[in-house]
Structure 1
Amino acid sequence: MKNLSVSLLFIVLVLVLVASQTLYVVKETERAVVLKFGEIVEDDVQPGLHFKIPVMNEVKKFDSRILTMDSRPQRYLTLEKKAVIVDSYVKWRIESVSKFYTATSGDEVIANRVLSSRVDTGLRNQFGERTMHEVVSGERDQLMDELRVGLDDVAKSELGITIVDIRVKRIDLPPDVSESVYQRMRTEREREAREHRSKGLELAEGIRADADRQQVVLESEAYRDSEMIRGDGDATAADIYSKVYTQDPDFYEFYRSLQAYRASFGSQGDVFVIKPDSEFFKYLNKIEQ
């Protein structure tokens, strides 16, 4: 019984060993090729469980998902010979597994190196045909589309991969150029500020002069109106006094004499040289009698 168990265990181990050498699994996210002594005998193996001949066959698996190649920032010249620092990246995916393996031996590093060289050349040509404004904003999307289409054909024929997308993350000016650009921008802003300030001062002076003129006009008109109103008031008062005083001339004369007494005797230090029987003391003399 013990020998039977050992034999079964040995058989199971042999079967597991054989299965591990003859069976292989390709995942949904993978692409694979089967080699026979280094030569491709089956390419683009579909996901699932597959068989191979041990020793004779070898399976190479590759990632079938979209991969990213992040390039190092490079210096390019625009149409005006202005230098810019461009940071870009490429999205790519394996299109032909056999061609990818033949061109790169299945090494993504080699594929990224070749692709980086192609992208660098393409960006250099595209930037050299456009101005600074066009590469920054005006034709940036068109530039990326043209580069992707052109590079996709080359990548398929040479590497067996397809270019999904090419994008520029950022465009910077070199340090030696940035300072001069910022200085020019600062000078232009200061010039515009001076122009706006001078226009503001000119407008302020016009507003101030108009306000002063309106003040003089308003004061003159107000003084004229006040004098007219005062004249009308004095005329009305004089007319009223005239009508009242004509009703009793004696009382009016007496009233005016009292006002004269009050004005004369109310101030101190004045000296009058008048005869006692003058017309001025008319009503005072009557009181004594």
Structure 2
Amino acid sequence: MKKAGFLLPILVVLGAIGLSAIFIVDEREKALVLQFGQIKSVKEDPGLAFKIPLIQEVVRYDDRILSLDTQQIEVTPSDDRRLVVDAFARYRIADVVQFRQAVGVGGMQAAEQRLEGILNPAIRAVLGAEGVTSNTILSPERAFLAARITQGVQARAAAIGLEVVDVRLKQTNLPPQNLDATFARMRAEREREAADEIARGEEAAQRVRAQADRTVVELVSESTREAEITRGEADAERNNVFAEAFGADPDFFEFYRSMTAYERALQGQNSTMVITPDSEFFDYLDGTGPRADR
């Protein structure tokens, strides 16, 4: 009985040690078996794996594609217009042994710091290259620039066991201290363009008004000339009609001329005339008509 009570703790300890020798590798991760800090084996296939209890330990690393958001950095393109660039990179651990040797116990945090140290100089080098302007960075060509950055960092990232899948530029903005100056310059340019448009509009309006005034003068002049011609022709026609009528009846001509003289002499308040009673002016007022001896 005493022997069985003594064996039970031993079996429990042996069972715990046996269980600690077994570990599971998930399909989303890779594992390294370390012995006193040295790599003894690599477990990349999912399933059960074994290690020496108490002597060996297991370090696991994510095998999925990971994302790293870089800190905002300032770049100066070839047109000397500074920009603040915010980028991100997608990467995965390609060589877990090389990765462990490069970052040591720092793990993913140390790896991301080193990867960001690779990314930022590459971003500055590509975006600050000759021929790359701020307009190029803000245009659809930024995808081509991102591809160049990706190619530039892949070799250096491979040295620490990482595979950079791609690098993308998230945001590209002006530095805060330059925003006010840029907005002021844009506002001045728009105001200048507006002033130019207003000046061109006024010039066009002046031309239209001058042409309209000239057209009015020409139309009035032409109309006046035609009216004078028409009036002259009408007066000539009237005189011809009068001449024919007066020639056909001289007495009627005398009568008409006297009536016209009466009308002109007795207009408005002019109702008093001082003339001799036997004046020819009253030949048609006393009912006798023209004097026979005239």
The TM-score normalised by the length of structure 1 is 0.75
SS where residue 172 of structure 2 aligns? strand
Structure 2: 5+ residue runs without aligned partners?
Answer: 1-13, 290-294
SS where residue 278 of structure 2 aligns? coil
Q: Which aligned runs of 4 or more in structure 1 are off by greater than 6 angstroms?
A: 14-21
Q: Any idea what the Cα deviations from partners look like across 1:172-216, whole Å, max 9, x if unmatched?
A: 333444444444444444444444444444444333333322222
How far has the Cα of 1:31 moved from its partner?
2.3
Are 2:287 and 1:286 equivalent residues in the alignment? yes
Between 111-120 and 30-39, report the one with greater CA deviation.
30-39
**Superposition pairs of residues 36-185 of structure 1, within 5 angstroms:** 36-37=34-35, 38-43=37-42, 45-47=44-46, 49-53=47-51, 55=53, 58-79=57-78, 83-104=82-103, 105=105, 107-130=107-130, 131-133=132-134, 136-137=137-138, 140-158=142-160, 160-185=161-186
Aligned CA distance change for structure 1 residues 266 and 68 (closer, same or farther; 3 Å): same
How far has the Cα of 1:245 moved from its partner?
4.5
**Superposition pairs of residues 185-264 of structure 1, within 5 angstroms:** 185-264=186-265
How far has the Cα of 1:58 moved from its partner?
4.5
Q: How many residues align?
A: 272
Q: Any idea what the Cα deviations from partners look like across 1:206-237, whole Å, max 9, x if unmatched?
A: 33333322222222112111111222222233
SS where residue 277 of structure 2 aligns? coil
What is the one-letter code of the residue matched to 1:146?
R
Aligned CA distance change for structure 1 residues 222 and 18 (closer, same or farther; 3 Å): farther
Normalized per residue, the structure richer in helix is 1
The TM-score normalised by the length of structure 2 is 0.74
Aligned CA distance change for structure 1 residues 229 and 61 (closer, same or farther; 3 Å): farther
Aligned CA distance change for structure 1 residues 245 and 61 (closer, same or farther; 3 Å): farther
How far has the Cα of 1:74 moved from its partner?
1.5
Task: Find the counterpart in structure 2 of residue 267 from structure 1.
Answer: 268
Aligned CA distance change for structure 1 residues 153 and 282 (closer, same or farther; 3 Å): same
SS where residue 107 of structure 1 aligns? helix
How far has the Cα of 1:70 moved from its partner?
0.9
Aligned CA distance change for structure 1 residues 274 and 146 (closer, same or farther; 3 Å): same
Query: Equivalents in 2 of 1:211, 1:76: separation in Å?
Result: 58
Aligned CA distance change for structure 1 residues 270 and 286 (closer, same or farther; 3 Å): closer
What is the one-letter code of the residue matched to 2:116?
S
Contact 2:73 2:84 in 1 (8 A): yes
Identity of aligned residues (%): 32
How far has the Cα of 1:111 moved from its partner?
1.5
Query: Equivalents in 2 of 1:52, 1:46: separation in Å?
Result: 13
Structure 1: 5+ residue runs without aligned partners?
Answer: 1-13
How far has the Cα of 1:69 moved from its partner?
0.9
Q: CA RMSD in A?
A: 3.5
How far has the Cα of 1:26 moved from its partner?
1.4
What is the one-letter code of the residue matched to 2:91?
W
Query: Equivalents in 2 of 1:68, 1:157: separation in Å?
Result: 19
